[in-house]
Every structure is written in structure tokens, then in C-alpha cells.
């Protein structure tokens, strides 16, 4: 199985788009996204220095545009992607690019959303002196306890030995003076405590814009970086894109879901390297490919052909399916209609998926008429596996 991933803020480096701009098709597309975002992304991706592209309001649109256009370069006919990719995921702001890849929102909607996200997060960062520090190594429980002791948030949990602490500069200074045992602290060059309570003003701003965005349900498994769950309701995806701004990124849980899916290959979009580096340490035996320059495209397509397989979600019209949010055991709710032709109400819980880690409800976002159940009581299910097919009813 192939999983395509998009990196988050910090992956950008000066001039990383220089070789891509030799392709006039890529250049034209980037000019179009620049017009939508109101930013000269060509300049920022080729000529701007590190300090300039570190600016949140610039870095975020630049990253999302780069990942989207790199994916288009791999799949010149975008529909072909759904016959190859088993799942998508994005780290922090990269999840916006992943949402476009899954067909939830358009590229233009993504650029407006990420433009406003970057501006709002930059404004929130300016209100209080905050930052982030990577905590490398140490005992996980001890690290988390030490962060709580100093009032900090584990803003990114990227797997064993890779936690990013975020909070005020005073809280981070206290952590530096009293670090967790056997851990190394690396201050990050960011201008805010992203994915913490300090970003609440940005959440409120984005929530207002989100009300005007139309969505579609994902056409492939979309792994949420909030909790590693497969999300198959377009409005839920959009809500999570808004809420993630002040919620920790649980990339460790995303990788656990990839393992549950039995991923064999991970392809990271431009500017690549960060997420494949994490995967090499956490997902032993899984092949990775970091797409950095266009001269790798033929090899990237060969990698896709080697690992690619159609997503089960794309086998049927997506708006008729309810899918498992995680790996576990399927249990149907006792009061749910069991016969084809019966109606499920909007918002009704139709099933539960239970694992050793959690127990999650499966709801029908829009309701509908039961066409057929695709699994039996007590069946083991994989993340994103279709559970029941619904036909829209007149009342929904």
C-alpha cells in the first residue's frame, strides 16, 4: 500500500523550488496559485532567504502550493492518483494539501484558507512572546510530565524520542534550566507556539472562513493528524483543519494508522525529507521516497507503481459509504435498522469500532437509506474500510 504525505512548516529551504520552475507548466500553475494567495510564491520559492520564508504568513502558502504542484507533476492526470494511493496524510499545515489530494476542497480554496491561516497564526504569535523547542530522547512519560510541570504543551508528537514543546519563552527557558533526564533540547526558529492554546484567536478567524467553504467527502483514506483516525466526512475534515491550529499534531498516531494499513511505501511531496526521515526510524521495513527535485519524477512514478493500489473507498460513490475510523472490531449498534431499505437518521450512531486503544462511534453525517452492510458483527476492520452503504433519502 502507498501513502502520500505532505510536510509541515520548517521543511522549506531557500531556493528549493528553483529546479521545478524550469518546467513552464509548473511555473504557470505556481503563478496561478500566487495570484489566488496574493503572494509572489515564485520569488519566495527561488530567491528569498531563510529568514523571509520562515515567516509564517509566507511559509504556509508556499508549502501547501509546493506539495500540491509536486503531486500534479507525479500524476499528470489527477484521477489516476485514486487508482494508486491507499491513503494520504499531512503534518500540520500539510494536511491542507492532503485534503486537496483527497478531493475534499479545491486548490483555490486551499490557497485562500492557508493564506488566512498563516496571517492569523502570525497575528496570534505577535500577541505573546512564544516559541517551540524540540525534545529529543528521554523517557516519553518523563518528558510529557516535565512539560506539564513547566506549563508547556506537547505541540508535535512525532514518535519515539521526538516531541516538540511549545509555550511562552519564559516557560521554555524554565524547561531549558530543568530538562528531562537523558533528553536533548533544540530550540526551533519559529515565531510562535503553534498547535497550542496561544493560537485560539487564529482558530476563531478560520472558523468564520470555513463556513463559506464547500466540501466533498474524501475519495481516498485521509488520516487526520489530530488523532490518526481515518476521516470520511468532508465537513469533518474541514473542521479538523480549523481546530488543528490550536491542537497538538499526533504524527505518532498517524504512523500507527499507516502500520495498521500495512503500508509498504511512503511518498513525501516537495519540500520532502522530514517525514520520510521520521518514517525510516519509526516504520521499519517500509520503503520511503522523498520527492525533492523534478529529475526524480520518473523514479517517483516507478515507486508509485510498485506500491500503489486502489483505495477501497474509491470503489463506490463516497457519499454512500460509512467507513471505519481506525483498526479494530466492528460492532453494530443494537437499535440501528438492519434491513436494506430502512432509514438511518442524520447524525445517528450506526456502529462502534473497538480496539485495545480506543472505542469510537461511527455516525451517519447525512443519514440515508441502508443499501447493504459490508461487514458482519464482530469482524476485524482496517482503517478506512467501508462498513455500510447508504443511499441518500429525500429528507436528507
- Any idea which residues carry the catalytic annotation? 92, 195
Interior angle at CA 76, CA 115 and CA 229, nearest 5: 55
141, 145, 146, 152 alpha-carbon torsion, rounded to 10°: 120
Each residue of 9-37: b (16+ CB within 10 Å) or e? Answer: bbbbebebbebbeeeeebeebbebbbebb
| Contact present, 122 and 191 (Cβ < 8 Å) | yes
φ, ψ (nearest 5 deg) of residue 187: -60, 140
Cell of 333: 449498534
Interior angle at CA 38, CA 156 and CA 113, nearest 5: 40
Distance from C-alpha of 232 to C-alpha of 360, rounded to nearest angstrom: 14
Distances (CA, A) of 222 to 75, 211, 237, 248, 374: 18, 21, 8, 18, 20
Distances (CA, A) of 229 to 105, 246, 383: 19, 18, 8
Cell of 316: 463506490
Distances (CA, A) of 235 to 29, 74, 226, 240: 27, 28, 15, 9
Amino acid at each position: 500500500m502507498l501513502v502520500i504525505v505532505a510536510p509541515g512548516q520548517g521543511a522549506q529551504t531557500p531556493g528549493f523550488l528553483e529546479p521545478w520552475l524550469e518546467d513552464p507548466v509548473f511555473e504557470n500553475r505556481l503563478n496561478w496559485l500566487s495570484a489566488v494567495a496574493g503572494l509572489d510564491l515564485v520569488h519566495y520559492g527561488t530567491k528569498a532567504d531563510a529568514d523571509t520564508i520562515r515567516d509564517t504568513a509566507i511559509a504556509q502558502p508556499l508549502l501547501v502550493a509546493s506539495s500540491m504542484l509536486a503531486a500534479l507533476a507525479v500524476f499528470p492526470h489527477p484521477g489516476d492518483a485514486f487508482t494508486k494511493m491507499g491513503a494520504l496524510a499531512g503534518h500540520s499545515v500539510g494536511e491542507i494539501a492532503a485534503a486537496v489530494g483527497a478531493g475534499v476542497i479545491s486548490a483555490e480554496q486551499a490557497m485562500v484558507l492557508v493564506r488566512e491561516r498563516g496571517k492569523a497564526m502570525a497575528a496570534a504569535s505577535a500577541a505573546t512572546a512564544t516559541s517551540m523547542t524540540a525534545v529529543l530522547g528521554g523517557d516519553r512519560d518523563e518528558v510529557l510530565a516535565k512539560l506539564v510541570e513547566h506549563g508547556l504543551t506537547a505541540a508535535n508528537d512525532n514518535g519515539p524520542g521526538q516531541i516538540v514543546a511549545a509555550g511562552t519563552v519564559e516557560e521554555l527557558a524554565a524547561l531549558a534550566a530543568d530538562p528531562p533526564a537523558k533528553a536533548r533540547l533544540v530550540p526551533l526558529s519559529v515565531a510562535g507556539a503553534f498547535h497550542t492554546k496561544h493560537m485560539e484567536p487564529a482558530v476563531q478567524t478560520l472558523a468564520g472562513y470555513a463556513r463559506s467553504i464547500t466540501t466533498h467527502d474524501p475519495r481516498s483514506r485521509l488520516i487526520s493528524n489530530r488523532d490518526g483516525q481515518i476521516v470520511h466526512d468532508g465537513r469533518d475534515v474541514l473542521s479538523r483543519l480549523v481546530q488543528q491550529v490550536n491542537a497538538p499534531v499526533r504524527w505518532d498516531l498517524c504512523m500507527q494508522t499507516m502500520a495498521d494499513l500495512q503500508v509498504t511505501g511512503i511518498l513525501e511531496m516537495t519540500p520532502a525529507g522530514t517525514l520520510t526521515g521520521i518514517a525510516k526510524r519509526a516504520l521499519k521495513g517500509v520503503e520511503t521516497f522523498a520527492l525533492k527535485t523534478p529529475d526524480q519524477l520518473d523514479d517517483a512514478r516507478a515507486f508509485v507503481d510498485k506500491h500503489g493500489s486502489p483505495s477501497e473507498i474509491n470503489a463506490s460513490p463516497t457519499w454512500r459509504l460509512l467507513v471505519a475510523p481506525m483498526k479494530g472490531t466492528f460492532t453494530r449498534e443494537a437499535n440501528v435498522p438492519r434491513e436494506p431499505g430502512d432509514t438511518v437518521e442524520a447524525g445517528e450512531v450506526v456502529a462502534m469500532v473497538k480496539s485495545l486503544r480506543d472505542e469510537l462511534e461511527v455516525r451517519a453525517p447525512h443519514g440515508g437509506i441502508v443499501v447493504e452492510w459490508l461487514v458482519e458483527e464482530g469482524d476485524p476492520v482496517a482503517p478506512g474500510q467501508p462498513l455500510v452503504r447508504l443511499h441518500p433519502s429525500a429528507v436528507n
